[in-house]
Amino acid sequence: MALVDLRHVRFRYTGSDSYALNDVSLSAERGEFILLVGPSGCGKSTLLRVLNGLVPHFYEGEFEGEAKVAGLDVRSTPTHVLARHVGVVFQDPENQLFLSSVEREIAFGLENLGLPRSEVKRRVREVLKEFNLESIKEKAPYELSGGQQQKVAIASVMALEPEILALDEPTANLDPLSALEVLTLVNRLVKEKGVLAFVVEHRLEIALRFTTRMIVMLKGCVAADGGPREVLLKAGKVVGYPPVMLVHVLLKRKGLVGDGVPLTCEELAEEVIAKWAMRYS
Amino acid sequence: MGDAILVEDVHFSYEGVPALRGVSLTIRTGEVLAIMGENGAGKTTLVKHFVGLLKPERGRVLVFGTDTRDASVAQLARRVGLVFQNPDHQLFAESVEGEVLFTLKNMGYPPDKARAICDSILKLFELDRYKDRSPYSLSIGERKRLAIAAVVSYNPDVLVLDEPTAGQDFFNKSKISKLIFKLRMQGKGVVIVTHDVEFASQVADRVVLMAEGRVIREGGAKDVLTDAEALRHARLVLPQIPATAAILEAEGVSLPSKPLLPGTLYLELLELLNHR
Amino acid sequence: MSKVLDIFRFRRKRTLLHELDPRAKFAMLMALSAASLALSDGVSLAVLLVVEVVLLAVAKALREWGRSLTGLSTLLILIFVLNYLTLPADRLFTATAMALRFLCLTTAFSIFFLTTTADELAAALEVSGVPREYSMMFTMSLRFVPSLARDMQTVVDALRSRGLELEKGGLRERLRNYTYLLVPLIVFELKRSLMVAEALEARGFGAVKKVEPYIELTFKAKDYVVVITSALALLAVAWVLLSGTYSAFIAWLRGIFPRI
């Protein structure tokens, strides 16, 4: 059975006229880096919150359809149980780091599960080492840079060892280098631990290099779902083409390049070099 | 086009921690300037000096010839409009049109004139259908547009936007860049504080890079945003087009210039690949 | 404004006071507060203040306290002046005493908050039997004080940039202008609390009723010393009040004090 299995999910927030999720079906497995995009209000944040049950437990409304995460039915499983399988990282680091040291922050989720102190201490040590946070373990969150804060947030949810990691615009307030570091960390977790990552992002240029699958949402529906290249060709007008893709599309019209759609600078450069070498060989 | 804001060797500290260490630059009308750098480099601190919210400890800031220490924030704000990053910090009225009217009233416009301006501004920003609704019932992109609309409504000579594209989707980013072009065409000065290198490459005429409270590089967008070394020093990355050109260069494929925009790269590659 | 809030913000240092168990410090706080309220003459309160300043010096927190004094000074003067103007007799005597009492109380609290982290406080509360939701509520409020101060500053900046002159005008106009602050600030903080609640849920908060706090609080020798001293001090205060000696002392003091 799929790790995430949504079938014909519809959801309307209490007091709202329209459906935030309008017949969404998708399934996802371990080891995927899914980029979830779409204009504001398309439902991507709502979809993310279905994964750990914030919808419909925290955000009330009418929920239809089936949603199973790690074999558990979202509608009947409380969020704190789902939290062991789905770690959610939000956009604003300030509102998700509550405690006065990094070490304490990582212990928080484990503490909440009621684990004995010795077990919590052991896991905290492991996480600090794994995420390279030992040097800052006593620092308070407000003393850290935005990028470091998001890394701490990721480490704190990963301490519970979830199979799924959901991130809601994690790099919105970060500078490009920090954004790259954060997404590289997520990618490492996907590749090395087989985590299933759902990343909601607007900054395609940074996220595309890690994306294995792209889902575009529009007005509560899934408008496109597949490999990033095909999805961009199909839905680029809505989400914006990365600059390298624009160049490719223009060159393709003149018949100067082949079909492979570049997502990164390296790919476009490769394409150009190959063609250039051919002409000069 | 003329000099609007002159920043002369400004030093400023927050509780003993230096935030600006001798910054000098010029803001001109009819030009789009991007002030870029990582969070904490001093960008927002600097732009707060443009309306006198902060006064320099050393050095001075002249806004259309007036030293900011000799004028009130309200007086300076009449010529320099500042839009903060988070729209929720700056929505004060009960309705969308009330927001614009509130600003116009503070800036001294009589009620009938204010109403006329309000109607046309809301139409321009595609917010007229929401005019009686509470600002907080709008989506995040619409709230951002409203904050910008309220400031643009009183026609300041310079518009300063702090991180206009942070968290915005593609549609809203396009709308914002269209607005910026329009304002430049009208002869206004536009300053964007941002770390979005792609957006800056699309709209900026000139770019100032800041790191640790200092200006480390300044020049035309084309020169600065293709300078990998300087960008790295400011904790930024090359935009995709110059990054591609840099890779090609490293592999021995020379291009006639350092392209910044997709169109330019396309034309140069066209030349390259068609050349017999 | 933020200067006043400074005395409640924890600063990490390695001093005796920082290393005490928060429950011991709480006992000390109770003793100091009781003494501040029980004593009612300027001389004894001045002595108490000196004791507190010594404690602050031990905690290496004198600078933060000094900074906040500038913010507190208006309140201090207000208390002094109000007492001076409204009392029938012995005005100087009582006014100085009241002002000193206020200072002693706030200083006692700042000693506590400057040397105790919000988490230590939460751990102390939980270990003492307070349910997790309540201790969390308390520490969250503390934790978000600097954020609130920052947001307030940003909203004030935004208002001023829209041409609202907050410094000008009569009292009524100024008050009205400040009400424009309220809506965005309240909405912002409500949104923030929603986001924090979401994040708490997402981290499994509420999964288990009783939690073993990460921070281990154990009473060491020095903590016992502090608690016993505080208890003795409280007893001394009680004795001083109940026996006649204090009232006699006050009468004598009033006698030699200038009668104004």
What's residue C9's pLDDT?
Answer: 59
Its pTM stands at 0.86
pLDDT (tens digit, 9 = 90+) per residue, C236-248? Answer: 888 877 877 788 8
Instruction: Please indicate whether residue A187 or residue C143 has the higher confidence score (pLDDT).
Output: A187
Sign of the Cα pseudo-torsion (A254, A257, A258, A262, in order): negative
Note whether A174 contacts B274, CB cutoff 8 Å.
Answer: no
Range C129-150 average pLDDT? 83
Mean pLDDT, residues A30-57: 93
CB-nearest to B236 from A176, A244, A276 is A176
Chain A residues closer than 8 Å to C204 by CB: 79-80, 83-84, 109, 112-113, 160
* Interchain proximity A251–B236, CB inside 8 Å: no
Instruction: Answer whether B249 touches C (CB < 8 Å).
Output: no
Higher pLDDT, C119 or B74: B74
Interface test with B, best of C162, C165, C188 (most B CBs within 10 A): C162
Chain A CB contacts of B140 under 8 Å are 40
Nearest CA in chain B to A235: B170
How far does A129 lie from chain C, in Å, by closest CA? 18
Q: What is the pLDDT of residues C88-114, one digit of tens each?
A: 777 778 888 889 999 999 999 988 888
Chains within contact range of chain B (3+ C-beta pairs < 8 Å): A, C
Task: Determine the residue among C14, C115, C141, C214 to mutate to test chain A binding: the one whose Cβ has the most chain A Cβ atoms within 10 Å.
Answer: C214
Residues of C in contact with B146 (CB under 8 A): none
Residues of chain C contacting residue A112, judged by C-beta atoms under 8 Å apart: 203-208, 211
Q: How confident is the model at residue C137 (pLDDT cuts 50, 70, 90)?
A: confident
ipTM: 0.89
Q: List A residues 205-244 in contact with C (Cβ-Cβ < 8 A).
A: none
Structure-token pair, residue A27: 């399934």
pLDDT at site C1: 40
pLDDT digits (tens, 9 = 90+) for B105-128: 999 999 999 999 999 999 989 898
Cα–Cα distances (Å) from A194 to A150, A156, A188, in that order, read 20, 18, 9
Facing residue for C206 by CB, picked from A80, A142, A156? A80
Residue of A52, A103, A112 to mutate for C, most C C-beta atoms under 10 A: A112
Cβ-count burial of B206 within 10 angstroms (0-12 exposed, 13-18 middle, 19+ buried)? buried
Q: Which residue has the higher pLDDT, C74 or B9?
A: B9
Assess contact for B127 and B96: CB atoms under 8 A: yes
pLDDT tier at A281 (50, 70, 90 boundaries)? low
Residues in chain B closer than 8 A to C6 (CB atoms): none
Q: How confident is the model at residue C18 (pLDDT cuts 50, 70, 90)?
A: confident
Which residue blocks in chain B are alpha helix, DSSP H?
Answer: 43-50, 73-77, 96-106, 111-124, 140-153, 170-185, 197-203, 221-224, 228-233, 240-250, 262-274
Task: Compute the distance between CA of residue B194 and CA of residue B164 in angstroms, rounded to an integer.
Answer: 7
- The percentage of chain C sitting over the pLDDT mark of 70, rounded to a whole number, equals 94
Q: Does C165 touch chain B (CB under 8 A)?
A: yes
A146 touches chain C (CB under 8 A): no
B78 vs C: CB within 8 A: yes
Chain segment C48-61, per-residue pLDDT in tens: 999 999 998 888 88
Residues of chain C in contact with residue B103, where contact means CB-CB under 8 angstroms, are 162-163
C229 CA: distance to closest CA in chain B (Å): 38
pLDDT at B56 over 80: yes
Residues of C within 8 A of B74 (CB-CB) are 160, 163-165
Distances from the Cα of B179 to the Cα of A108, B130, B142, B203, C152, angstroms: 46, 20, 14, 10, 29
For residues A59 and C162, the answer to whether their CB atoms sit within 8 Å is no
